[in-house]
Structure formats: C-alpha cells, structure tokens
Amino acid sequence: MEGIFFSLLENDLEELNKNHKLGSNSDESWKPMREVACPICTVHLQVQVPASGSQTIECGVCQHPFLVSAD
C-alpha cells in the first residue's frame, strides 16, 4: 500500500513540475524541492523550501503541521 501511495505522489509531483514549466515565465516564484520526513508519522514528503527563513507545512498523511527551513 505504501508503495502505491509514493508512486501516486511522484506522479502528482511530476505533473505539478510540468504544469509549472508550462504556465510560468518567472522562476522567482518557484522554490526548490526537498524531501523531508514528518516528525510524527515519518512519511517522506517532497516540499518546496523557502529561499530563507522557515515555512510551516502540513503533512498530507497525518495533517500535523511542522516547520521546514532553508539550509
């Protein structure tokens, strides 16, 4: 079951990347993607990371909010 979820997630991310490339002329709004693990359920998520500072995201599985920060 977990493999199916990640496969679907990868397909969704590929579609988002393709749509972004087709629909945007500016790379300023596009933030780099990074894989992070939810601290509660440990599922790995692909998220956009801020250029600086931190951003609160919500886990798509357990809905727990957590911070993702720029390196």
Per-residue pLDDT tens over the stretch 41-68: 999 999 988 888 888 999 999 999 999 9
Residues 19 and 47 placed together within one structural domain of the fold: no
Domain containing residue 52? 31-71
Residues 35 and 53 in one domain: yes
Maximum distance among all Cα pairs of the chain, rounded to whole angstroms: 38
- Confidence band for 18, pLDDT divided at 50, 70 and 90: low
| Mean pLDDT, residues 22-32 taken together | 54
Q: Residues 9-32: what's their mean pLDDT? A: 57
Burial per residue of 23-52, b for 16 or more beta-carbon CB atoms within 10 angstroms, e otherwise: eeeeeeeeeeeeebebeeeebebebebeee
Q: Is 37 found in the same domain as 70?
A: yes
Within this chain, do residues 9 and 35 fall inside the same structural domain, yes or no? no
Whether residues 7 and 41 share a domain: the answer is no
Is residue 23 over pLDDT 50? no
pTM: 0.53
Q: Are residues 14 and 35 in the same domain?
A: no
